């Protein structure tokens, strides 16, 4: 019999993890919603963010600098990826699959390039803080709470940019109707590249924030990618609201199932949920909510 305390603890852990997961997944859903690209390189962006943070921290000793550098470098990487790899495919009759393949190729390329350059060993990343709180019998690491809060702030900023700024207006216009946006004077190519940059930067930011938990190594991005992949499928590709809900829900499912089964089997459960949702509601729970 599972104690109520353990269950409560796992639910709290799940919610905290859900916030981090949302940060990774929202970039994936954003770039699909705007540019119809399923970015298999999203995990590689996460990985590059972790490394940029790691090196910046080593050089400057400042965590803030590490976070900022990761965001900027990975934004640039995403921007260039869109211009060089995705744009040449855009006029193709069939766009979804080639764009999936080139981003998969990019992920593979980057992962192995980092192995050649740095090796496969894990670089450990210092914790931001070691403080542990105890609230009503539930253990809370200040580290995880801090990461959760930063994730929420980043997501909130993204929301403000999308809903309140001129850039956000252009992004929404392009995602709803590319040709009409063009007629309004928007430059869709630039919007795609910037959106790809923002999406990548969110992954890069997550890469640094989660580095103390995941460590930093060339294939670190694959697992968060798979998790966020499940999240966006369940939440509905392109639906930010669905993605946030799915991130929280699935993270809680995962941390509760870990009470009984291995983390491998927890992933099996998540993937099975994803297939069922994909078949029952191809637009995800986000589409179902609308």
Closest approach, Cβ 279 to another protein, in A, equals 4
The first and second tokens of residue 20, run together, are 């981090």
E strand or H helix at 228? helix 222-235
Closest approach, Cβ 259 to another protein, in A, equals 17
User: Does 165 participate in binding another protein (rule CB under 8 A)?
Assistant: no
Residue burial 256-270, b: 16+ Cβ < 10 Å; e: rest? bbeeeeeeeebbeeb
User: Does 134 participate in binding another protein (rule CB under 8 A)?
Assistant: no
Q: Which of 173, 202, 208, 246 binds another protein (CB under 8 A)?
A: 173
User: Does 30 participate in binding another protein (rule CB under 8 A)?
Assistant: no
Closest approach, Cβ 99 to another protein, in A, equals 8
Question: Which of the stretches 23-31, 48-56, 139-147, 171-179 binds another protein when contact is defined by CB under 8 A?
Answer: 171-179
Question: Which of the stretches 23-31, 52-60, 135-143, 228-236 binds another protein when contact is defined by CB under 8 A?
Answer: 228-236
The 10 Å Cβ neighbour count of residue 96 is 13
Q: Which of 104, 161, 215, 256 binds another protein (CB under 8 A)?
A: 104
The 10 Å Cβ neighbour count of residue 150 is 19
Answer for the pair 212, 222: CB distance below 8 angstroms, yes or no.
no
Q: Which of 15, 172, 213, 281 binds another protein (CB under 8 A)?
A: 172
The first and second tokens of residue 162, run together, are 């999308």
Closest approach, Cβ 217 to another protein, in A, equals 13
# residues near another protein by CB under 8 A: 55
Residue burial 188-208, b: 16+ Cβ < 10 Å; e: rest? beebbbbbbbbbbbbbbbbbb
Q: Which residues contact 62 (CB under 8 A, 6 or more apart)?
A: 56
User: Does 25 participate in binding another protein (rule CB under 8 A)?
Assistant: no
The first and second tokens of residue 37, run together, are 């690209």
The 10 Å Cβ neighbour count of residue 274 is 19
Question: Which of the stretches 52-60, 69-77, 197-205, 224-232 binds another protein when contact is defined by CB under 8 A?
Answer: 224-232
Closest CA to 202 of 252, 242, 156: 156
The first and second tokens of residue 36, run together, are 């119809």
Residues making contact with another protein (CB under 8 A): 38, 85, 88-89, 91-92, 94, 96-98, 100-102, 104-106, 108-109, 112-113, 115-116, 166, 169-170, 172-173, 176-177, 179-187, 222, 226, 229-230, 233, 262, 264-265, 267-268, 271-272, 274-275, 278-279, 282
């Amino acid at each position: 019999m599972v104690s109520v305390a353990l269950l409560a603890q796992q639910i709290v852990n799940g919610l905290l993890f859900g916030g981090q997961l949302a940060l990774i997944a929202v970039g994936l859903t954003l770039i699909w919603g705007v540019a119809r690209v399923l970015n298999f390189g999203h995990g590689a962006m996460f990985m590059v963010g972790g490394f940029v943070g790691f090196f910046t921290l080593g050089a400057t000793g400042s965590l803030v600098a590490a976070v900022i550098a990761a965001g900027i470098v990975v934004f640039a990487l995403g921007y260039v990826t869109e211009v060089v790899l995705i744009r040449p495919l855009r006029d193709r009759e069939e766009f979804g699959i080639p764009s999936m393949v080139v981003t998969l190729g990019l992920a593979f390329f980057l992962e192995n390039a980092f192995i050649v350059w740095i090796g496969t060993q894990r670089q450990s990343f210092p914790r931001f803080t070691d403080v542990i709180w105890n609230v009503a019998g539930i253990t809370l690491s200040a580290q995880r709470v801090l990461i959760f809060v930063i994730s929420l702030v980043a997501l909130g900023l993204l929301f403000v940019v999308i809903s309140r700024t001129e850039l956000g207006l252009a992004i929404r216009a392009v995602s709803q109707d590319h040709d009409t946006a063009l007629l309004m004077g928007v430059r869709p190519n630039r919007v795609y590249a910037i959106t790809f940059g923002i999406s990548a930067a969110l992954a890069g930011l997550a890469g640094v924030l989660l580095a103390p938990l995941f460590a930093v190594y060339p294939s670190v991005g694959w697992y968060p990618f798979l998790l966020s992949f499940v999240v966006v499928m369940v939440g509905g590709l392109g639906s930010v609201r669905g993605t946030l809900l799915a991130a929280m829900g699935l993270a809680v499912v995962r941390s509760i199932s870990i009470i009984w089964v291995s983390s491998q089997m927890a992933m099996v459960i998540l993937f099975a949920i994803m297939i069922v949702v994909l078949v029952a509601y191809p637009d995800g729970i986000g589409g179902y909510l609308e």
